[in-house]
């Protein structure tokens, strides 16, 4: 959902309308937001139809590319429930925890310590619609995902933000975010980033 696909299409929202772009605008020039979003990325699973979607597998390269970093914001999980992946809520939560653990153990030069982490807990899928219905026909494997994510991340000493307190998934496809939800989420994340910095 962070990649910014326009629900019901294969098109992408422009950067300024994606939540990461809204985050940058809201925070202002004092901050530099680096968007590292990939359509279909999973926490730790391989997609047989699309290469390089495994978050755990590629996180070190990503962090080394953008170092130094103060904060890494992770919003992953929904793609784990695609039929081609077939993960359960518990599987996905384990994947997210493994990804966070890896981030916390990487401090690429010139960083002297790992970046702080903010995990955005994605909303639970209620019902995939339109062109997402077949892709996520087994979406009920993800029931209880928000609770599973929060439970899995306990003890990691990271920051969390529950997206469902601010946004809902699109009424067009039930998986992605409408433009208005990107705006709301971007501003909510900005408030959280400022809170973390204090």
- CA 16 vs CA 22, 47, 111, 158, 164: distances in Å: 6, 29, 29, 27, 22
- CA 186 vs CA 16, 19, 53, 58, 193: distances in Å: 10, 4, 23, 25, 10
Q: What is the pLDDT of residues 95-141, one digit of tens each?
A: 999 999 999 999 999 999 999 999 999 999 999 999 999 999 999 99
Nearest to 176 by CA among 120, 131, 119, 145: 131
CATH class of the domain whose range is 15-197: alpha beta
What mean pLDDT is predicted for residues 24-31? 97
Mean model confidence pLDDT for the chain: 97
Task: Give the pLDDT confidence score for residue 1 in this predicted structure.
Answer: 83
- Domain locations along the chain: 15-197
Q: Please name the helix (run of DSSP H) or strand (run of DSSP E) that holds residue 38, with its range, or none.
A: none
Q: What is the pLDDT of residues 140-185, one digit of tens each?
A: 999 999 999 999 999 999 999 999 999 999 999 999 999 999 999 9
Task: Give the pLDDT confidence score for residue 110 in this predicted structure.
Answer: 97
């Amino acid at each position: 959902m962070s990649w910014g696909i326009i629900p019901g299409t294969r098109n992408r929202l422009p950067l300024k309308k994606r939540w990461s772009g809204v985050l940058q605008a809201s925070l202002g020039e004092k901050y530099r937001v680096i968007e590292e979003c990939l359509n279909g990325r999973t926490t730790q699973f391989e997609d047989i139809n699309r290469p390089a979607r495994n978050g755990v597998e590629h996180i070190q390269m990503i962090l080394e590319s953008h170092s130094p970093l103060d904060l890494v914001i992770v919003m992953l999980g929904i793609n784990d429930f695609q039929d081609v992946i077939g993960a359960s809520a518990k599987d996905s939560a384990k994947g997210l925890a493994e990804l966070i653990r890896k981030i916390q153990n990487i401090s690429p030069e010139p960083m002297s310590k790992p970046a702080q982490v903010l995990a955005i807990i994605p909303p639970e899928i209620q019902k995939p619609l339109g062109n997402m219905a077949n892709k996520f026909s087994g979406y009920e494997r993800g029931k209880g995902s928000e609770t599973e994510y929060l439970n899995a991340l306990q003890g990691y000493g990271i920051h969390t933000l529950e997206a469902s307190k601010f946004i809902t998934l699109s009424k067009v496809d039930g998986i992605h975010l409408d433009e208005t939800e990107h705006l709301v989420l971007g501003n909510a994340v900005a408030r959280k980033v400022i809170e973390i910095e204090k």
